[in-house]
Amino acid sequence: MDIKKLETWYVQNHRKLVFRESRNPYHIWVSEVMLQQTQVDTVLPYFSKFIIKYPTVSDLAKASEEDLHKTVEGLGYYRRFRLMQQAAQKIISEYQGIFPKTYDEVRSLPGVGAYTAGAIMSIAYNQPYSATDGNVIRVISRYLGDDQDMGLEKNKKRIDAYQQSMIEKATPWIYTQAIMELGALICRPRQPKCELCPLQEHCLAYAQGSQNELPIITKQTKTKTYQYITLIIEDHDAYYLRKRHEELLKGMYEYPQFEGESVYTVLSELESQGIFLDLNEDKSIYKHVFSHQTWLMDVYHAQLIKGIHPDWIRIDKHDFMTYPMAIAHRKIKR
């Protein structure tokens, strides 16, 4: 690969993203965690807000779970932020609050995988550690004309080994960002702009005209669909919400929700627990797609007449927006 051409292209053409203007390992870590599964444009305002709110690792370590969830509400995949806070606490207790500087130490932080560790080591410390994500796999598999299934771990490893051999010859902090930026701006998933690409001269996919077919990725995961009855329960000036304990969206608030298709089954189950609702039978239907599951929700409004479920929390309507809530429920019209 013509590394010099790639690096020069990056220096001259990269977007001035707020988190790409920093070599601070904390900033790079925060941005890389936010960018997992989330678009750059979505991340930008969250990143700025996050850094103002938690300017140091120590501020993040001390944040309340509620406050942290509220700060990242809307980004999804909230487990990554809980792990991030655990990592911040580890940095305080084991590294005196100073961000670790070796690969093994960075990799040992909760939630930090090989990709994130590689990004931090190369961008913040200019060390030759590869950071191979989906974008990089796309660029390199096209460049090498590799038509193997990139859904398989052994093939991803081969691409990562190539990427590692490249970064060892490069200026790591520029190379990592350059190949990420090339994947975002030029070697895009659809209709790559090969005519503007600094790697075009030796790109095999371009030579063979196969750039739109590569990479080949067969999906390894199956998604599951759940049918829920979701209740917006009012009680004078308040709603009842539940704080999730499940791994998905743990710590986020939601409307009481029950797996099943019949609201009447839910009502009679609640009545058997001494909870009585006055139901408005007009329902609205919502759908939310997560990476591994889909929620189909029949949403009903109801007034509480009597009783209270031990899991429900009474929340004043004025305070409703201050509680962290997953978009799956935040988007439901009250």
Q: State the catalytic residues.
A: 32
Q: Find the binder of ligand SF4 among 18, 185, 194, 216 (CB under 6 A).
A: 194
The residue (of 206 and 323) whose beta carbon lies closer to ligand SF4 is: 206
Looking at 192, 215, 256, 324, which residue binds ligand SF4 (CB under 6 A)?
Answer: 192
Q: Are 38 and 75 in contact (CB under 8 A)?
A: yes
* Beta carbon nearer to ligand SF4, 119 or 186: 186
Nearer to ligand SF4 among residue 28 and residue 139 (C-beta): 139
Choice from 30, 43, 199, 328 touching ligand SF4 (CB under 6 A): 199
Q: Which of 197, 229, 275, 325 binds ligand SF4 (CB under 6 A)?
A: 197
Query: Taking the complex as a whole, how short is the minimal distance between the CB of residue 143 and ligand SF4, in angstroms?
Result: 5
Q: How far is CA 240 from CA 8, 20, 56, 112, 204, in A?
A: 57, 42, 35, 36, 59
Q: Does 200 bind ligand SF4 (CB under 6 A)?
A: yes
Least separation in angstroms between CB 209 and ligand SF4: 10
Nearer to ligand SF4, 144 or 327 (CB): 144
Nearer to ligand SF4 by C-beta: 107 or 188? Answer: 188
Closest separation in Å from C-beta 149 to ligand SF4: 18
Rounded CA gap, 55 and 60, in Å? 8
Q: Is 232 in the site for ligand SF4 (CB under 6 A)?
A: no
Count the residues of the shown chain that bind ligand SF4, applying the rule CB under 6 A.
Answer: 14
Tell the smallest beta-carbon distance from residue 146 to ligand SF4 (Å). Answer: 12
**Which residues lie below 8 Å from residue 249, measured CB to CB, with a gap of 6+?**
78, 326, 328
| Tokens 């030796």 -> residue | 202
Closer of 6 and 297 to ligand SF4 (Cβ): 6
Look up tokens 């190369």; give the residue: 122
User: By CB under 6 A, what part of segment 136-165 binds ligand SF4?
Assistant: 139, 142-143
Residue 115, Cβ density class (10 Å: 0-12 exposed, 13-18 middle, ≥19 buried): middle
Q: Kind of pairing, strands 238-243 and 253-254? A: antiparallel
Contact in structure between 264 and 278 (CB atoms under 8 Å) = no
Rounded to a whole number of angstroms, the minimum distance from the CB of residue 111 to ligand SF4 is 31
The set of long-range contacts for 207-214, using a CB threshold of 8 Å and a minimum separation of 24, is 207/145, 208/145, 210/142, 210/145, 210/147, 211/142, 211/187, 213/147, 214/138, 214/141, 214/142, 214/145, 214/146, 214/147
Distances (CA, A) of 174 to 12, 20, 126, 170, 198: 12, 10, 8, 8, 15
| Stretch binding ligand SF4 (CB under 6 A), from 164-172, 192-200, 280-288, 299-307 | 192-200
Query: Applying CB under 6 A, does 60 fall inside the site for ligand SF4?
Result: no
Q: Is 215 in the site for ligand SF4 (CB under 6 A)?
A: no
Secondary structure element (H or E) that encloses residue 5, with its range: helix 3-13
Q: Should residue 166 be labelled a site residue for ligand SF4 when binding is judged by CB under 6 A? A: no
DSSP state of 305: E
CB 241 within 8 Å of CB 312: yes
Structure token digits, residue 108: 């040992």
Q: How far is the CB of 90 from ligand SF4 (least distance, A)?
A: 38
Question: By CB under 6 A, is residue 231 in contact with ligand SF4?
Answer: no
- The residue ranges that bind ligand SF4 (CB under 6 A) are 139, 142-143, 186-187, 192, 194, 197, 199-200, 203, 205-206, 211
